[in-house]
């Protein structure tokens, strides 16, 4: 079917794509999370409720929504 050389090339390319996708995900996740935490600390000094609302409604969906799009993960919940 495929020679050893072709399989080795395909395997190495998969590793490259996994590395690149992981790199992009990390370059998105950590800076956005650091900025979000910094904002939460500043807002939390004045109002704890505002900080929780900001994290819950704005920053958390931004961080995880972006990560899900970058990594291509789809969450499906089935049941009764």
Spell out the alpha helix ranges (H) of the chain: 4-46, 48-54, 60-71
Which residue range(s) make up the domain with 23?
Answer: 4-71
The first and second tokens of residue 41, run together, are 């600390």
6-63: pLDDT as tens digits: 556 566 778 888 889 889 999 999 999 999 999 999 999 999 999 999 989 989 889 8
Averaged pLDDT for residues 49-78: 90
Domain count, the chain: 1
The answer to whether residue 45 sits within a structural domain is yes
- pTM listed for this prediction: 0.68
Task: For residue 58, tell me if it sits in a domain.
Answer: yes
76 within some domain: no
Residue 80 belongs to a domain: no
């Amino acid at each position: 079917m495929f020679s050893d050389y072709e399989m080795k090339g395909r395997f190495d390319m998969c590793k490259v794509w996994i590395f690149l996708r992981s790199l992009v995900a990390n370059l998105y996740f950590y800076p956005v999370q650091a900025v979000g935490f910094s904002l939460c600390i500043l807002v939390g000094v004045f109002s704890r409720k505002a900080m929780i609302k900001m994290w819950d409604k704005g920053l958390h969906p931004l961080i995880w929504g972006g990560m899900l799009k970058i990594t291509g993960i789809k969450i499906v919940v089935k049941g009764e």
